[in-house]
Amino acid sequence: MCRNTTTRPRQARTPQLMALAALSLGSLSLPGHASDNRTPARLSAATPGSFTGDCASLETTLSGIPGTTITAANNLAAGAVMVGGRQVDGRREGGQPVAAHCQVLGTLNERISPVDGRAYGIDFEMRLPLQWNGRFFHQGNGGLDGVVLPALAEFGGGPITGGLHQGFAVLSSNGGNRDRGDAHFGADPQARLDYGHQAVGSLTPVAREIIRRVYGRQPDRSYFGGCSNGGRHALVAATRYSQWYDGILAGAPAFTLPLSSVAQLWGAQRYRTVATDPNNIATAFTPAERQVVARAILNHCDALDGVADGMVQDTAACQSAFDLQRDVPTCTGARDGTCLTAAQKDVVAAIYNGAVLPDGRRVYSSFPFDPGLSAANWALWEFTLPEARSSFSVGMIFSAPPQNMAGFDRRAFTMQPLETLSSLPSSTTALYPVPALSFMNPVNPTDMSALRNRGGRVLVYHGVSDAVFSVNTSTDWFRALDAAHGGTAAEFARVFAVPGMAHCSAGPATDQFDAITPLVRWVEEGIAPDRINASARGPGNAGAVNMELPAGWSPARTRPLCPYPQVARFVTGGDVENAASFVCR
Ligand SMILES: [Ca+2]
């Protein structure tokens, strides 16, 4: 039997983790006592294969898979799809060509909902390289799913490689709904579950069968990756479908996504109290005012990593070194973009501290101060999407029963008391018997033993200035995972924070990196990633230029991303623009 009650570190008792623990107790899984001091198994490397038939024949080759209709099979020549480069007058210039592949389109479990009478199906595409690397990549998509994004398996900002480019057979799906990012599908109980995880569970055997028929064997190795909701899909797959996946790449994963959405609504309420235009809460905290705060953070935190370079690598130390109330000028007169009012400071401080119920329980998570709050993407998640999207997703997908769609008032819904909003993701009815917190979350996030014991590996990356899914949830998760696995979690799971980066990409950051190759080497060669090289995207970048880079940075600045809790620290005397001048420790 396993004992884990005596050594849990103090940090593990954050309200966020208590919420996760409570969640796991509500599931069928035993809570995380996963200690096993054996070195995790190591899987053998994939071997390449190829496909020599013509794409058009695949409609026949792939017929008769139960529940599945293949609707098209298209030949895409080398260079028909490019990675990186720039769009110029509707054409892509520069970048690297993706090799020749077949694009197969299909639908699984097509049906008419008995609840709302609309048509549902798990629509998907697979991109199957003629020269295959022997691997399967399941691409989890973001937001509310609802659309089949191209199966390219690209990550970070301005990608210059991706899974398809590297020869994976890549799968992408709509997650079981056709709402193109809207939340109407919340009316249908099955569509909720498909969005949560069942589309992944239903589609994976289909994809494996397609690969078997096309290449003559099932994939040697299988990977699941995505960012945001796609990162959530990846960690859910790691716990629910671990028998099928060897490597998990989770970008900005959403833990307790419905509660993150609730926290966004609460944040919008707070901002509204200091907005000068009640119909535009972005006026609560203007770009100039965010720059004031970013500069104050840099003044107190930039040099903690050994070099004042416009980046705060030591996020943990910064939370002690920077004090919003003390270090940001307080307006003595009218707001003029050089200061914050006392009321603004209270609002910003509360939002970084996270939504807290009157009894002191934190609904979701805190957020760390980092200079990336200057990013436009940060503002999108703080000011625009709470009312525009999260109100509807909480009301339609994460509440049981869903709100009445006719006349749904996003503003009024957003303004409800936090006690009311935070209770919705736990609600159930006879028609909606599974609460959102269950169908949306990994079964027991701190028990990855099934994946671990068969040789699986988990690589998480997360922007430190992610305004919707806090990087603190990823680092809190890692500490709890480490405690549950007897201090050995780094043997199979690592979290790479990306300082300055907003949600999945962008911000004053080195956000261009290839996380797939290090994950494959870890899974198949046993070489754990000690650092991941990342680049800024200044003028001339081969991917896409990041317009938010500070003027003083080299366009090609590189930095190592370091496995938590390590931090990239400058080695005195080195070239400030070069990752080689930094060590992870
Ligand atoms: Ca620095």
Q: pLDDT, tens digit, for every residue of 463-497?
A: 999 999 999 999 999 999 999 999 999 999 999 99
CB-based contacts of 306: which residues, under 8 Å, 6+ apart? 569, 570, 571, 572
For ligand 1, the distance from its centroid to the CA atom of residue 415, given in whole angstroms, is 39
Residue 41's pLDDT is what?
Answer: 81
pLDDT of residue 86: 75
- 103 contacts: CB under 8 Å, gap ≥ 6: 55, 72, 73, 74, 76, 125, 126, 127, 128, 151
Lowest mean pLDDT among 8-17, 399-408, 443-452, 576-585: 8-17
Q: Is the pLDDT of residue 24 over 50?
A: no
Predicted confidence band of residue 37 (pLDDT cuts 50, 70, 90):
low
pLDDT band (50, 70, 90) for residue 177: very high
In this prediction the pTM is 0.93
CA 304–ligand 1 middle distance (angstroms): 6
Report, as residue numbers or ranges, the catalytic residues: 228, 466, 503
Please give the pLDDT value at position 93.
75
**What does the pLDDT read at residue 38?**
64
Average pLDDT over residues 232-236: 98
pLDDT over 70 for what percent of the chain?
A: 93
pLDDT attached to residue 11: 38
Above 90 in pLDDT, residue 298?
yes
Which two tokens mark 303? Answer: 């040099």
Give the model's pLDDT for residue 240: 98
CA of 306 to the centre of ligand 1 (A): 6
Question: CA 378 to CA 501: how far, in whole Å?
Answer: 9
Residue 17: its pLDDT value, please? 42
Distance 464 CA to ligand 1 centre (A): 14
Which residues are within 5 Å of ligand 1 (an ion), measured at CB?
302, 305, 309, 311
pLDDT at 338: 98
Nearest to 390 by CA among 367, 353, 369, 364: 364
Question: How does the average pLDDT of the chain come out, rounded?
Answer: 93
Average pLDDT over residues 186-215: 98
* pLDDT, tens only, 40-91: 788 999 999 999 878 999 999 999 999 999 999 999 999 999 998 877 777 7
Distance 156 CA to ligand 1 centre (A): 21
Is 121 in contact with 107 (CB distance < 8 Å)? yes
Task: Assess whether pLDDT exceeds 80 at residue 20.
Answer: no
Residue 35: pLDDT above 90?
A: no
Taking the centre of ligand 1 as the mean of its atom positions, its distance from the CA of residue 93, in whole angstroms, is: 34
The reported pLDDT for the residue numbered 31 is 38
Residues 146, 232 contacting (CB under 8 angstroms)? no
565: CA distance to ligand 1 center in Å?
17
Q: What is the mean pLDDT of residues 531-552?
A: 95
